Amino acid sequence: MNQIQRGDLILDIQGLVADVAGRNILKGLNLTIRAGEVHAIMGPNGAGKSTLSQILAGRPDYDIKAGSATYLGEDLLALAPEERARRGVFLGFQYPVEIPGVNNVYLLKAALNSRRRQQGLQELDAFEFMTIVREKMKLMKMDESFLKRGVNEGFSGGEKKRNEILQMTVLEPTLAILDETDSGLDIDALKVVSTGVNSLRRDDRAVVLVTHYQRLLDYIVPDYVHVLAGGKIVRSGDRTLALELEQRGYDWLIEGTNAA
Amino acid sequence: MSTPIAPDLDDLVTQKYRHGFVTDIDSDTLPPGLDEDVIRLISKKKGEPEFLLNWRLKAFRLWQTMKEPTWAHVTYHPIDYQAISYFSAPKSKKDGPKSLADVDPKLLETYDKLGVPLHERARLAGVAVDAVFDSVSVATTFKDRLHAAGVIFCPFSDAVRDYPALIEQYLGSVVPQGDNFYAALNSAVFTDGSFVYIPKGVRCPMELSTYFRINAANTGQFERTLIIADEGSHVSYLEGCTAPMRDENQLHAAVVELVALDNANIKYSTVQNWYPGDENGIGGIYNFVTKRGECRGRNSRISWTQVETGSAITWKYPSCVLIGEGSVGEFYSVAVANHRQQADTGTKMIHVGPNTTSTIVSKGISAGRAQNTYRGLVKVLPSAAGARNYTQCDSLLMGPDCGAHTFPYVEVKNPSAVVEHEATTSRIGEDQLFYLLQRGLSQEDAVNMIVNGFCKSVFNELPMEFAVEAQNLLAVSLEGSVG
């Protein structure tokens, strides 16, 4: 695989139109993400933020009506969800599911090895794997007993989110999409999660933060802020846009789209 | 564009049954049909003592007065019992194999193919195997080492010859001839099986294992297993089963009897993988089996663990009769039904003595058009003061066309008893599946991971090497289930 350089195109979405259960949610969305960048996507409820995350990860039940999404030169929408994951697309779920009886560590190892196989790397043995995981768990301030528990089984909301970020730091995705990872976190957990995300920032990777709250961006400072409303990106700017949104809400932007 | 994870949940299995080959071997097979002459012939072929012949004949006469049970949640065409051959044995030297060296190489090859090498050197250390091929036992490994410990582990026919007193004392003492239709049939025509006796205070030095193989066409397999754990002894026993793929249904009607005396401990594990029939329900084994253990002694324990993936129809309720004070009965079960398989399985825990306890953990997995039923009885007699039972029944559904049913019967005649029952039914979640795919797992690995997680509390009860086999078997049975 070619080395990704800062500024290389990672994800290019053009004119994306998508329906869910017959209802049109995305209405011609454009978004370009380059290596080394962190993008925040904000917007009112029902604007299509989660839909966008799910479509990029390959969730079924969405009808793509028009447009394209190109990931590192490949047609992302033509790939199965597991193929996208193995190529480095990671979705941090808004509501991570419980999978009873499956150890966290077992899933982590299977996930990491499937990514490594795709990269043409050797699977890790138990020792190498645990060395990596221990280091990441320390970063995420997680107790080792965590690994033996069932995936998200009986986890608090905050633990689930922390677990998502742990998985992300272990898998080291090229494109991480974090769907409202900050919702339901107290301030301490938010700091830990932010540390995890910031540790991932590198010239050859990109992060997309889907969030309702400006607060997250105090800890993870984005390069770009976009407003997704009515199924489109209606405004893009830098960090100051988020602050402005906090002051003024979204209505002034949405009215703008209606007029357009 | 829509890329559903499960474009067609109905589009089950592409994976073929892996044990479906036939071994071409000369067999000595009786023509189909059953009457008293056939029973006399079986008894004579096996050189049985008079008491056993009479025992069989009594069973046959009882059987003729009985009707097939119809209460199970299964449907099938009536079985023509006169169309079945009741005895089939690989032809061998007149006196049968004296040692492994005398066993037909083709047979050894068969067991090798099945992953059950009978050569002791090749065999996993610590597991002794009795291999039953059609109606007879063909080899038993590690006899000498077991003998040194005082443990008797041999084909049932050898036990009849060498230990007739034990057989006469215990045979039918847990499952009497007239217990039920299939048990009566088995009592009349059983041909071989395994016999185990663990003397007082002995902890059996290795796992004992019987491997059942149906090979011949149009035969039934009617084996009989009897395990006696004398005071303070321990034994862990495993059984595995396979059969070739054939378009006709074949009957397997076994009886297993366990006896645990004071402080004895029997752990009985089954991985049942009889041929289940094809995806349209053609062929497959009818697995109509009676398994029961009696905890006769104080503080004795009998534990049944089963992983049922095969058979067209499974009708089986490994049970415990808890007589001795403080005795313990356990039942851990994973039953998988795919395609058009039907499983009606569960357990009976009969609390007779005071302070007896029982635990039931049942995991049913249904896929395709299969029907999977848990049927259990917890019965606490007036004499069983302080009895306790805990039952947990979970069902997992894969796809829209399968069914899960739970029939828990509880009869409590002693007011001090505590009986708990928990049950859940869930569908394999698209959310769970998508989550794992998003982490890069393949469809199949994702399904296996979810299913294995679901079954974990039962797999934990299996001896180590069986647990691995069980997981693999589950993977094969459900391959393509969510396609």
Residue B222 has a pLDDT of 86
Q: A61, A91, A99, A160: which to substitute to probe chain B, counting the most B Cβ within 10 Å? A: A99
Which structure tokens are listed for B96? 């049968």
SS3 annotation, A83-99? HHHHCCEEEECCCCCCE
Task: Provide the 3-class DSSP secondary structure of residue B143.
Answer: helix
Residue B84 has a pLDDT of 83
Q: What span, in angstroms and rounded, lies between the C-alpha atoms of B237 and B192?
A: 17
A65-69, B180-184, B370-374: segment of lowest average pLDDT: B370-374
Residue linked to tokens 């239709």: B181
Dihedral sign (CA A220, A221, A223, A227): positive
Phi–psi pair at B410, nearest 5 degrees: -130, 125
Chain A residues touching B429 at Cβ < 8 A: 97
Question: Which residues does residue A71 pair with via DSSP β-bridges, in sequence order?
Answer: A11, A74
Between A90, A93, A110, which is nearest B441 by CB? A110
Residue B403 has a pLDDT of 87
Minimum Cα–Cα distance from B450: chain A residue: A99
Residue A123 amino acid letter: E
- B387 CA: distance to closest CA in chain A (Å): 30
Instruction: Please give the domain boundaries of chain A with CATH numbers for all domains.
Output: 9-259 (3.40.50.300)
Q: A51, A68, A77, A82: which to substitute to probe chain B, counting the most B Cβ within 10 Å? A: A82
Closest Cα partner for A81 from A58, A64, A115?
Answer: A58
Give ipTM to 2 decimals.
0.95
Minimum Cα–Cα distance from B460: chain A residue: A101
Residue B123 has a pLDDT of 44
Q: B3, B394, B474: which to substitute to probe chain A, counting the most A Cβ within 10 Å? A: B3
- B328 CA: distance to closest CA in chain A (Å): 26
Chain B residues touching A86 at Cβ < 8 A: 440
Q: B434, B443, B455, B471: which to substitute to probe chain A, counting the most A Cβ within 10 Å? A: B434
Most confident of A65-79, B39-53, B305-319: A65-79
Task: Provide the 3-class DSSP secondary structure of residue B308.
Answer: strand
Q: What span, in angstroms and rounded, lies between the C-alpha atoms of A146 and A166?
A: 11
Residue B279 has a pLDDT of 75
- B242 CA: distance to closest CA in chain A (Å): 29
* Ranges assigned E (strand) in A87-147: 89-92, 99-103
Chain B residues touching A80 at Cβ < 8 A: 3, 437
Residue linked to tokens 């979405």: A13
Mean pLDDT within B447-461: 87
Percent of chain B with pLDDT over 90: 41
Cβ-proximal residues to A193 (8 Å cutoff; 6+ apart), any chain: A140, A161, A162, A165, A181, A182, A185
Residue B311 clears pLDDT 80, i.e. is over it: no
Residue B189 amino acid letter: V
Could you say which residues of chain A have pLDDT below 70? Answer: 1-2, 255-260
Mean pLDDT within B64-83: 85
- How many beta-carbon contacts under 8 Å exist across A and B? 90
Mean pLDDT within B97-114: 60
C-alpha separations of A74 from A1, A64, A87, A95 in Å: 13, 17, 10, 28
Residue B278 has a pLDDT of 74
Residue B2 has a pLDDT of 35
Residue B209 has a pLDDT of 80
- B350 CA: distance to closest CA in chain A (Å): 30
Q: How confident is the model at residue B133 (pLDDT cuts 50, 70, 90)?
A: low
Which structure tokens are listed for B196? 């185990």
Between A59, A64, A77, which is nearest B434 by CB? A59
**A9 CB within 8 Å of a chain B CB:** no
Residue B234 has a pLDDT of 96
Q: What span, in angstroms and rounded, lies between the C-alpha atoms of B104 and B110?
A: 10
Contact B435 A93 (CB under 8 A): yes
Supply the DSSP string of A8-75, one letter for each residue. -EEEEEEEEEEEETTEEEEEEEEEEEETT-EEEEE--TTSSHHHHHHHHHT-SSEEEEEEEEEETTEE
**A59 CB within 8 Å of a chain B CB:** yes
Contact B4 A61 (CB under 8 A): yes
- A91 CA: distance to closest CA in chain B (Å): 7
**A19 CB within 8 Å of a chain B CB:** no
A17-21, B36-40, B220-224, B227-231: segment of lowest average pLDDT: B220-224
Residue B31 has a pLDDT of 80
Chain A residues touching B1 at Cβ < 8 A: 63-64, 77
**B1 CB within 8 Å of a chain A CB:** yes
Q: How confident is the model at residue B483 (pLDDT cuts 50, 70, 90)?
A: very low
Contact A85 B437 (CB under 8 A): yes
Higher pLDDT, A214 or B329: B329
pLDDT in tens, B382-394: 999 999 999 999 9
Chain B residues touching A85 at Cβ < 8 A: 437-440
Mean pLDDT within B332-359: 91
Most confident of A188-192, B136-140, B241-245, B311-315: A188-192
Chain A residues touching B432 at Cβ < 8 A: 97, 99
Mean pLDDT, chain B, whole residue set: 82
Q: For the stretch B246-261, what's the b/e string if a residue is b when 16 or more beta carbons lie within 10 angstroms of its beta carbon? A: beebbbbbbbbbbbbb
Between A58, A64, A97, which is nearest B431 by CB? A97
**B441 CB within 8 Å of a chain A CB:** yes
Residue A25 has a pLDDT of 94
Between B431, B439, B455, which is nearest A111 by CB? B439
Q: How confident is the model at residue B106 (pLDDT cuts 50, 70, 90)?
A: low
A228 near A44, Cβ under 8 Å? no
**A61 CB within 8 Å of a chain B CB:** yes
pLDDT in tens, B396-434: 888 788 888 899 999 999 999 999 998 888 888 788 999
pTM, 2 dp:
0.79
Closest Cα partner for B28 from B252, B219, B225?
Answer: B219
Chain A residues touching B445 at Cβ < 8 A: 110, 114
Question: Which residues does residue B203 pair with via DSSP β-bridges, in sequence order?
Answer: B234
